[in-house]
Amino acid sequence: MEKRVLVLNLDHSPVAVVSAQKAIVLTLLDKANVLSTYDLLEIRTVSRSFEYPAVIRLNHYKNIPYRGVLLNRVNLFRRDKGECQYCGSKRHLTIDHVIPKSKGGKTNWTNLITACNRCNVNKGDKTPEQTGMNLRTFPFKPTLSFFLADYAERQAEEWLPFLSS
């Protein structure tokens, strides 16, 4: 699986995650410097090979407004660590509205959770209070740093020294 590259702003705050190809283009254009590489990996082109960047820093400050983490299936499952928030199952995952849409429940980070198909069907069109099904964690709106730390812990420990500051 291809590793991703963490992009830091001039002040070292994380601003984006890009592909290795994009990171190398930024460094070749002198728009960024490589701060850390993945050991034992390299990028090959026809004529040369490059160290595989893990963290790069932009050479000019970029004012990038933070728009929040995109609410989608992949990010929701990741926030919930791929587990049904009622029973903990990791199989047949679906998305559940904690407060059902029919009862005015919203489609947002604090009302959507990961639920296995069985729990979703059992819960049906009821609230957790009505079914007595308890949530294992409270649904929250994740930050960019939450996802960066999550990714770093799973497959890019080279990022960790740059996320703490």
Site for Zn ion in 87-116 (CB under 5 A): 87, 89, 116
The DSSP 8-state label assigned to residue 153 in this structure reads H
By the 10 Å C-beta count (0-12 exposed, 13-18 middle, 19+ buried), 93 is classed as buried
The span of 42-50, 82-90, 100-108, 122-130 binding Zn ion (CB under 5 A) equals 82-90
- Among 6, 32, 84, 93, interactor with Zn ion by CB under 5 A: 84
Q: Is 133 in the site for Zn ion (CB under 5 A)?
A: no
Q: Closer CB to Zn ion, residue 17 or residue 95?
A: 95
Q: Is 18 in the site for Zn ion (CB under 5 A)?
A: no
- Supply 150's token pair: 């999550």
Q: Closer CB to Zn ion, residue 22 or residue 118?
A: 118
Q: Closer CB to Zn ion, residue 9 or residue 117?
A: 117
CA angle 116, 120, 123 (to 5 degrees): 140
Nearest Cα to 95, choosing from 59, 104, 78, 19? 78
Task: Kindly state the smallest distance separating residue 116's Cβ from Zn ion, in Å.
Answer: 3
- Supply 46's token pair: 């026809």
